[in-house]
């Protein structure tokens, strides 16, 4: 599998381009009510910026453990593990060379009614400090005319290990080159967040969002209260109140005001990082578009950040021979 390869997944209505590098969505064309297509994900025209480390996790799958682990340390079965530190005092998104910075193998491609591409990566014992060998699979498919589905699974082969995969696409439903997303509105089916300390590590508290700027239990514009949140939104929501469909919970509904594209996200993960691209700062992307602060929205369904060190959070530990599974459904409508 050539690292440079970018594969196309299309059903005539929506077209995704997905790279073997990081199993990364580099482009996603979605129609509006009039059939006009826009590329609704931030990214680059070529793989070079991704491979050079210029990308702030645009479109990729992050792991072995998404989000932050406090001081890059955890103890499992009496053994203390030390991970690569790459985010202040913490280990973020798997370390310096997480799953977003490796070439995945393409192990299956299907055409027909539900076209799909399956990527696989083998993570070795000790990689970035994590215990045990893990085989990871990610299948992107188009089960419906305007639906993208992602099924992630991982098997811990010989040691217990934390596993928490997330898809890190930055969405802009008006088109990747259309400026900030503060006029997008969002509803999040979460009544609580996990508040964080000064190093963005959860305190362990489960905090109700009622009467705070974090309350998106009803639809609000992203920009309406963002100035009341120092730095912007970068918080894990507890997905505790969504209706279910086919075993998946409704996590979020994102709408662009100007052209009425809507994204409904469904998942079976316990949490979702809502991140408003606070650290994106003048990155030149596709077609010369310059991505500034808040130019995209990340809806990263996940296990809770630092769960490996928080006994009251849902466990992210996978035992040898067991399988981690995580499904995301991106439903577009106009």
Give the β-pairing of 234-238 and 271-275. antiparallel
Note whether 256 and 296 are within 8 A (CB).
no
The DSSP H or E segment spanning 284 is: strand 283-284
Backbone angles phi, psi at 99, to 5 degrees: -65, -15
Closest to 98 measured CA to CA, from 144, 50, 58, 66: 66
Distance from C-alpha of 69 to C-alpha of 59, rounded to nearest angstrom = 21
Sign of CA dihedral 290, 93, 267, 224: negative
Residue 168 labeled ligand binder? yes
- Active-site pick, 128, 184, 294, 300: 300
Establish whether 34 is a catalytic residue: no
Distance from C-alpha of 260 to C-alpha of 145, rounded to nearest angstrom = 17
Distance from C-alpha of 141 to C-alpha of 11, rounded to nearest angstrom = 10
Residue 68 labeled ligand binder? yes
Residue 157: exposure state from Cβ atoms within 10 A (0-12, 13-18, ≥19): middle
- Active-site pick, 127, 128, 168, 250: 168
Backbone angles phi, psi at 91, to 5 degrees: -100, 125
Note whether 92 and 234 are within 8 A (CB).
no
Distance from C-alpha of 225 to C-alpha of 309, rounded to nearest angstrom = 31
Establish whether 300 is a catalytic residue: yes
Distance from C-alpha of 66 to C-alpha of 297, rounded to nearest angstrom = 17
Distance from C-alpha of 221 to C-alpha of 184, rounded to nearest angstrom = 6
Residue 67 labeled ligand binder? yes
Binding residues: 67-68, 168-170, 234
- Which residues have a catalytic role annotated? 168, 300
Binding residues for beta-D-galactose: 67-68, 168-170, 234
């Amino acid at each position: 599998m050539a690292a440079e390869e970018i594969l196309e997944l299309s059903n005539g209505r929506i077209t995704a381009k997905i790279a073997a590098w990081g199993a990364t969505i580099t482009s996603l064309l979605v129609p509006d009510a009039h059939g006009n297509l826009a590329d609704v994900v931030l990214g680059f025209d070529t793989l070079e910026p991704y491979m050079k480390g210029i990308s702030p996790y645009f479109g990729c799958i992050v792991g072995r453990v998404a989000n932050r682990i406090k001081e890059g340390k955890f103890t499992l079965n009496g053994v203390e593990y030390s991970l690569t530190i790459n985010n202040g005092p913490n280990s973020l998104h798997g370390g310096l060379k997480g799953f977003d910075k490796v070439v995945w193998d393409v192990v299956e491609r299907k055409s027909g009614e539900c076209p799909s591409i399956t990527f696989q990566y083998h993570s070795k014992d000790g990689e970035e400090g994590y215990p045990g060998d893990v085989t990871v699979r990610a299948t992107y498919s188009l089960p419906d005319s305007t639906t993208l589905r992602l099924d992630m699974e991982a098997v811990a082969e010989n040691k217990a290990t934390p596993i928490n995969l997330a898809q890190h696409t930055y969405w802009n439903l008006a088109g990747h080159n259309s400026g900030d997303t503060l006029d997008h509105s969002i509803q999040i089916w979460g009544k609580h967040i996990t508040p964080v300390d000064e190093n963005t590590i959860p305190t362990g508290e489960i905090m109700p969002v009622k009467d705070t700027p974090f309350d998106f239990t009803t639809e609000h514009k992203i920009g309406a209260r963002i100035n009341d949140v120092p730095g912007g939104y970068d918080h894990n929501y507890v997905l505790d109140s969504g209706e279910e469909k086919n075993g998946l919970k409704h996590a979020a509904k994102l709408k662009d005001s100007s052209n009425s594209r809507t994204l409904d996200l469904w998942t079976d993960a316990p949490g979702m990082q809502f991140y408003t691209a606070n650290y994106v700062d003048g990155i030149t992307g596709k077609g010369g578009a310059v991505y500034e602060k808040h130019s995209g929205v990340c809806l990263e369904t996940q296990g809770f950040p630092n769960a490996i060190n928080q006994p009251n959070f849902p466990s992210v530990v996978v035992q040898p021979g067991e399988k981690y599974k995580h499904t995301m459904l991106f439903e577009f409508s106009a």
